[in-house]
Chains A and B, each alone.
Chain A
Amino acid sequence: KQEVTQIPAALSVPEGENLVLNCSFTDSAIYNLQWFRQDPGKGLTSLLLIQSSQREQTSGRLNASLDKSSGRSTLYIAASQPGDSATYLCAALLRTGNNRKLIWGLGTSLAVNP
């Protein structure tokens, strides 16, 4: 069964810390991996999308990496701020037979304390 796992499920850090969120997937036949942010009462906002041919993507204080061989992606947040508090989800687009399927993790709930 294809799965995406996010560890930890919850994380609480003081403001200013650099932090890493982890996402692992069970299948190396990956097309891309996406990181999303979800705020309470809101939908998901796409943060970064890494194609299978890429090793990393950067946007501002965010950096996402992809290691297909180990089945892992990390989201690095530099100099965290209280406004970064949200749930972060990763989703892997994996090959399923002749089709593609987007498999979602359950998310990491992040609290950045002032």
Chain B
Amino acid sequence: DQQVKQNSPSLSVQEGRISILNCDYTNSMFDYFLWYKKYPAEGPTFLISISSIKDKNEDGRFTVFLNKSAKHLSLHIVPSQPGDSAVYFCAASEGNYGQNFVFGPGTRLSVLP
């Protein structure tokens, strides 16, 4: 049973527009959430995180929103750039001890020039 879901395998967005990547989770004990970006032949690169005490965290063009009641988080990229084309993974962990991140299956973002 997938605890972290990314229901859109792929997403295409025009350059300069907003990209919204979604992630849902089922484990209400998750309290730390992260987004990673992965290019082919490279390891995932940490993008941004949010703890459950917040509902929004922003870092430059990247903003993560957390809706705990809906068990949903999203990553907004504004404006989208062709270099943002990659696979994006959502990850979650439970508690302060034992950071066994549970990863979603990923969403492939294509930013079209």
Are A and B genuine complex partners? no
A residues apposed to B, CB below 8 Å:
none
